[in-house]
A = this chain, B = another copy of it.
Amino acid sequence: MSDKINRVVLAYSGGLDTSVILKWLQQTYQCEVVTFTADLGQGEELEPARRKAELAGVKPEHIFIDDLREEFVRDFVFPMMRANAAYEGVYLLGTSIARPLIAKRQIEIAKLVGADAVSHGATGKGNDQVRFELGYYALAPDIKVIAPWREWDLTSRTKLIEFAEKHQIPVAKDKRGEAPFSTDANLLHTSSEGKVLEDPWEQVPDYVFSRTVNPEDAPDTPHVITVHFEKGDAVAVDGDPMSPATLLAHLNELGREHGIGRLDLVENRFVGMKSRGMYETPGGTILHVAHRAIESLTLDRGAAHLKDELMPRYAELIYNGFWFSPEREMLQAAIDHSQARVNGTVRLKLYKGGVHVIGRQSPDSLYSEKVVTFEDDQGAYDQRDAAGFIKLNALRLRLLGRRDR
């Protein structure tokens, strides 16, 4: 195994950092760089990335710009939503779930163009480096991985900008100084962290939020919507069928308007430290609440409780970067098995930052008004059965009690 790199596929945003990396790779490894820019719904123009790559000398046939929005929502976000995944109780994994898709496509391109290496712009302190690289290694065990932030000596903003200027990389005026925080965005969420957010006692400044209005500025009247599910996946809003990405984008708009999905969190990174992040997941928050509600009607208790017990592990696996692992796939198989009859409609009220379930119905409902009713149930349930049920559930406690009390 030689260390000589011939061709490397770079996950390229077109921004300053990955532009510097592009040049640094060319210089350091004397290799051909292939750029890959994914549209995951981050809401930025991608054509400028093409022009910048061309300017940096990347061959036109080595510039890949792919619209992955539908694949992202259909094959990554939705399966995760089926699990009701929330890391550390609350984080909806918006960044974590995008990384495996980028890694997967990057490896596909590497195979296509015969590259022997891949590279990314994630730093050495974060989770994203792990998520990218575990994806690379799982899908291409012998690929070489270049993580410039762990290797180079451009260890300060100043040095980075010097390098950019020296190599004619355009530096936007607002990038000259230190950014006040760092962000990541895709169709599911925008995350912000670092700098002004580093003191967890200080409130997140208003200007950090970009995807949602402040709940205080949201409309004074609630907005009621319905979300319709088939086999655990949302397929329509207010009766309008939509593709996965269209549906999520639509819920994002509704969520934005009503200030939904803001989260200020201190979380535990896989690399061992705590960090403080701010997340905006407008549409995803609505979906999360709605999915739990449709499950409440259509999932049996045994399935529902098993899912609840497996969820923290599942969420941890995604957070830590183990999407392409056998254990995540095993859990997914169990989860997906439970979703066959998760069909129906949830009615939700959006109001001032809150998503409130106010109704749910399903052709596959397991709720039996006949059984549960306070009224005469005409024998659907025999209350005397409860006596035996309790007696046998109590038996071991009574034997214990006779011994211990």
A405→B139 contact, CB < 8 A: yes
Q: Do the beta carbons of B389 and A198 come within 8 Å of each other?
A: no
Q: Are A388's CB and B398's CB within 8 A? A: no
Is the beta-carbon distance between A390 and B356 smaller than 8 angstroms?
A: no
Question: How many chain A residues touch B (Cβ–Cβ < 8 Å)?
Answer: 134
Q: Would you call A173 an interface residue if the criterion is a C-beta within 8 Å of the partner chain's C-beta atoms?
A: no
* In contact, A403 and B352 (Cβ under 8 angstroms): no
Does A163 belong to the interface (CB within 8 Å)? Answer: no
- Interface positions, chain A 327-383, Cβ under 8 Å from B, are 327, 329-331, 333-338, 341, 347, 351-354, 356-361, 364-369, 371-376, 379, 381-383
Indicate if the CB atoms of B330 and A372 lie closer than 8 Å.
Answer: no
Q: Does the CB pair A374–B195 fall under 8 Å? A: yes
Check A324–B397 contact: CB distance below 8 A. yes
Q: Which residue of B lies closest to A276 (CB)?
A: B367
- Among A11-19, A24-32, A260-268, the stretch that binds chain B is A260-268
Asked if B327 and A305 sit within 8 Å, CB to CB, the answer is yes
Question: How many angstroms from the CA of A181 to the CA of B171 in the assembled complex?
Answer: 60
Beta-carbon nearest neighbor of A268 in chain B: B301
Across the interface, do B88 and A273 meet the contact criterion of CB distance under 8 Å? no
Considering the chains assembled together, what is the distance between the CA atoms of A364 and B371 in angstroms? 43
Q: How far is the CA of A356 from the CA of B296 in the complex (A)?
A: 25
Counting CB contacts under 8 A, is A124 at the interface?
A: yes
Contact of A366 among B195, B216, B399 (CB under 8 A): B399
Q: Note all chain B residues with C-beta closer than 8 A to A321.
A: 393
Within 8 Å CB of A124, what residues of B? 383-384, 386-387
Q: Is the CB of B264 within 8 A of A356?
A: yes
User: Is A165 an interface position by the 8 A CB rule?
Assistant: no
Does B201 lie within 8 Å of A150, measured CB to CB? Answer: no
Cα-based distance from A168 to B51 in the complex (angstroms): 68
> Which of A139, A292, A327, A329: most chain B CB closer than 10 A?
A327
Using Cβ atoms and an 8 Å threshold, which residues of chain B touch A354? 215, 352-354
Query: How far apart sit A352 and B355, CA to CA, in the bound complex (Å)?
Result: 12
CB distance from A305 to the nearest CB of B (A): 6
Chain A 278-321 interface residues, beta-carbon cutoff 8 Å to B: 292-293, 296-297, 299-309, 311-313, 316, 321
What is the 8 Å Cβ interface bit string for chain A, positions 242-268, against chain B (1 contact, 0 not)? 000000000000000000001011111
Interface-central residue, A90, A264, A297, A386, by most chain B CB under 10 Å: A386
CB distance from A94 to the nearest CB of B (A): 18
Whether A297 and B393, one on each chain, are in contact in the complex, defined by CB atoms closer than 8 angstroms, is: no
Q: Does A123 contact B (CB under 8 A)?
A: yes
| Interface presence of A222 (CB below 8 A) | yes
* Residues of chain B with a CB closer than 8 A to A147's CB: 386-387
Say yes or no: B301 contacts A376, CB within 8 Å: no
- Of A42-50, A58-66, A127-135, which stretch is located at the interface? A127-135
| A125 near B405: Cβ-Cβ < 8 Å | no
CA A215 to CA B353, docked complex, whole Å: 11
The answer to whether B129 touches A390, judged by C-beta atoms less than 8 angstroms apart, is yes
Chain B nearest CB from A355 CB (Å) reads: 10
B388 near A387: Cβ-Cβ < 8 Å? yes
Q: Could you mark each residue 66-96 of chain A with 1 if its beta carbon is under 8 Å from any beta carbon of chain B, else 0?
A: 0000000000000000001000111000000
Q: Is A57 an interface residue (CB 8 A)?
A: no
Chain B residues with Cβ under 8 A from A361's Cβ?
200-201
In the complex, A221 Cα to B352 Cα: how many Å? 12
